[in-house]
């Protein structure tokens, strides 16, 4: 028999595969090659901005230190700086928000420069009013002052709305930008969101709460030894006991505060064993940071000998910040260095570092004991431990 003929229905048909359409990917755009002069200019501009931001940061922290509640913001920032270095081990991470602060510093500088014409006209109008109270010249000066004042307010407001860069305060085209931006739409919404983002980015509640807890944790360790030390002029034995306890507490408190800010846990103030374990892994770094921390704090006791006018407290706070900010950075560096190591160092390094730290702590306690007889506030000045508590030369209630 012959085989039956095959039909088209008997031939198997392979299923059709529909190729999935890939999304259109734009070709990569090559970045323009910057010339060498342009690279040099960008580098100089970046370094200048960073240095200006650091100066503005220290100046701003000094201003906050002259305000009672602002003192906790300053302490919180210093603790956060040391905590970040302890987490990463990099010193540069301790300069938090330097470029952001540079923007605010540029705003202050730009406003000050724009205010100069207003100030000059105000002085001239005041002089003209003194010479001739109801004269025509005085009225003309006051009219010019009003016009310049309105122009100043509009110019500065527009520069802030554009982003607050320093060059915007020097630009004569702010009015043109304002008109174009208002015609574009959503002007109020964008301005509101920009201001809100700038304020939230400062993280003021976080720094304040961190400073309050860091202050409380350090004060709880220092209060009892300082209380006993303050009675040393009455009962020598009590004073010696307070000095011994203070010397031991001083060895731990700065590193406890650094660990607290690193982990953001108040319970870290109880972890004495962890501090000792960290010390064994980086004894030289601990001793170096500890000695410099106390060394930077000791000369500042000279500024407590006599009370200064309230108007000069800002300058005194500026000196304190210049000393205590680097000290906090070094503490974070020491704790971060210990976190990178697993095994303790040789016992020779550990005992050498212990002896150095004990000697530094003993000398610091001697200075603290003598400060109650030299400071203008007397015994209450013992509790103004700027090396560990508020980074200012005066108490919160002053």
Residues 246, 365 contacting (CB under 8 angstroms): yes
Q: Kindly state whether residues 46 and 193 are assigned to the same domain.
A: no
Domain contains 208: no
pLDDT the model gives residue 397: 44
For residue 9, tell me if it sits in a domain. no
Q: Does 24 fall in a domain?
A: no
- Does residue 26 lie in a domain region? no
Would you say 113 and 169 are in contact if contact means Cβ atoms under 8 Å apart?
yes
**What average pLDDT does this structure show over 212-219?**
93
pLDDT at 5 over 80: no
Is there a single domain that holds both residue 141 and residue 247?
A: no
In percent, how much of the chain has pLDDT > 70? Answer: 86
pLDDT of amino acid 33: 66
Among the ranges given (14-28, 100-114, 286-300), the one the predictor scored with the smallest mean pLDDT: 14-28
pLDDT band for 16, please (50, 70, 90 cuts): low
Residue 9: the pLDDT is 53
> What pLDDT is recorded for position 23?
56
Distance CA(71)–CA(390), nearest Å, equals: 6
Considering the domain architecture, whether residues 311 and 233 belong to the same structural domain is answered as yes
Same domain, 297 and 276: yes
What lies within 8 Å, CB to CB, of 383 at 6+ separation is 219, 222, 223, 226, 389, 395
Token output for 29: 């755009």
Domain identity same for 296 and 374: yes
The answer to whether position 30 is within a domain reads: no
Q: Share the mean pLDDT of the chain.
A: 83
* 337-381 pLDDT tens trace: 998 888 889 889 999 999 999 999 999 998 888 877 777 666 777
**283 and 247 part of one domain:** yes
Where is the domain boundary, 149, 169, 201? 201
Statement to judge: residues 259 and 336 lie in one domain: yes
Better-scored residue on pLDDT, 10 or 318: 318
Asked if the structure places residue 12 within a domain, the reply is no
> Rounded to an integer, what distance in angstroms lies between the CA atom of residue 383 and that of residue 362?
18
Q: pLDDT tens digit string along 17-64?
A: 554 555 555 666 556 667 788 788 888 888 888 999 999 999 888 888
Q: Which residue segment(s) compose the domain that 313 sits in?
A: 37-96+214-398
Look at 5-14, 98-107, 314-323, 380-389 and tell me which has the smallest mean pLDDT: 5-14
Question: Would residue 78 count as lying in a domain?
Answer: yes
Predicted pLDDT at 70:
86
Distances (CA, A) of 19 to 16, 362, 378: 9, 80, 87
> Same domain for 164 and 187?
yes
Last residue of a domain, one of 201, 225, 259: 201
Domain boundary among 179, 201, 223: 201
Assess whether 112 and 239 both reside in one domain: no
* pTM listed for this prediction: 0.82
Q: Which of 242, 207, 213, 210 is nearest to 226 (CA)?
A: 242
What's the rounded Cα separation, in Å, for the pair 287 and 352? 9
**Claim to verify: residue 252 and residue 119 sit in the same structural domain:** no
Residue 396 has what pLDDT? 44
Q: Which of 63-67, 74-78, 242-246, 279-283 has the lowest mean pLDDT?
A: 63-67
Q: How far apart are CA 398 and CA 391, in angstroms?
A: 14
Rounded to an integer, the average pLDDT of 236-259 is 91
Same-domain check for residues 104 and 91: no
**What length does the chain have?**
398
> Tens digits of per-residue pLDDT, 253-287?
999 999 999 999 999 999 999 999 999 999 999 99
Looking at the 3D structure of the chain, how many domains does it have? 2
Residue 32 lies in a domain: no
Instruction: Give the tens place of pLDDT for each residue, 145-197.
Output: 889 889 888 888 888 888 888 888 888 887 888 888 788 877 778 777 877 88
What average pLDDT does the segment 67-87 reach? 90
- Same-domain pairing of 190 and 227: no
Cα gap 257→327, rounded to integer Å: 13
């Amino acid at each position: 028999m012959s085989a039956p003929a095959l039909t088209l229905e008997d031939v198997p048909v392979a299923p059709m595969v529909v190729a999935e359409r890939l999304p259109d990917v734009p070709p990569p755009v090559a970045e323009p090659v910057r010339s060498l002069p342009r690279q040099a200019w960008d580098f100089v501009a970046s370094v200048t901005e960073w240095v200006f931001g650091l100066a503005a940061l220290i100046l701003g922290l000094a201003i906050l230190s002259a305000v009672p509640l602002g003192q906790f913001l300053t302490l919180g920032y210093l603790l956060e700086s040391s905590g970040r270095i302890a987490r990463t081990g990099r010193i540069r991470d301790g300069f938090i928000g330097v470029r952001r602060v540079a923007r605010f510093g540029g705003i202050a500088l730009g406003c000050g420069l724009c205010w100069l014409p207003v100030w000059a006209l105000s002085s001239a109008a005041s002089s003209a009013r003194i010479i001739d109270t109801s004269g025509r010249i005085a009225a003309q000066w006051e009219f010019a002052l009003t016009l310049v004042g309105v122009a100043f307010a509009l110019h500065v407001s527009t520069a802030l709305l554009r982003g607050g860069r320093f060059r915007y305060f020097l630009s004569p085209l702010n009015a043109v930008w304002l008109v174009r931006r208002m015609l574009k739409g959503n002007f109020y919404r964008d301005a509101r969101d920009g201001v809100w983002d700038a304020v939230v980015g400062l993280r003021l509640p976080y720094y304040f709460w961190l400073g309050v807890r860091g202050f409380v944790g350090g004060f709880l360790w220092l209060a009892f030894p300082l209380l006993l030390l303050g009675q040393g002029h009455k009962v020598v034995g009590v004073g010696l006991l307070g000095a011994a306890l203070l010397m031991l507490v001083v060895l731990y408190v700065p590193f406890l505060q650094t660990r607290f800010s690193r982990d953001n846990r108040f319970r870290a103030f109880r972890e004495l064993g962890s501090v000792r374990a960290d010390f064994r892994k980086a004894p030289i770094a601990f001793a170096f940071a500890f000695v410099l921390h106390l060394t930077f704090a000791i000369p500042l006791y000279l500024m407590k000998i006599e009370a200064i006018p309230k108007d000069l407290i800002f300058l005194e706070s500026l000196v304190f910040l210049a000393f205590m900010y680097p000290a906090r950075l070094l503490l974070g560096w020491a704790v971060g260095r210990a976190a990178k190591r697993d095994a303790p160092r040789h016992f020779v390094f550990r005992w050498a570092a212990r002896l150095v730290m004990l000697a530094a702590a003993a000398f610091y306690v001697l200075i603290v004991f003598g400060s109650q007889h030299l400071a203008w506030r007397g015994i209450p000045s013992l509790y103004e431990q700027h090396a560990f508590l508020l980074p200012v030369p005066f108490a919160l209630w002053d």
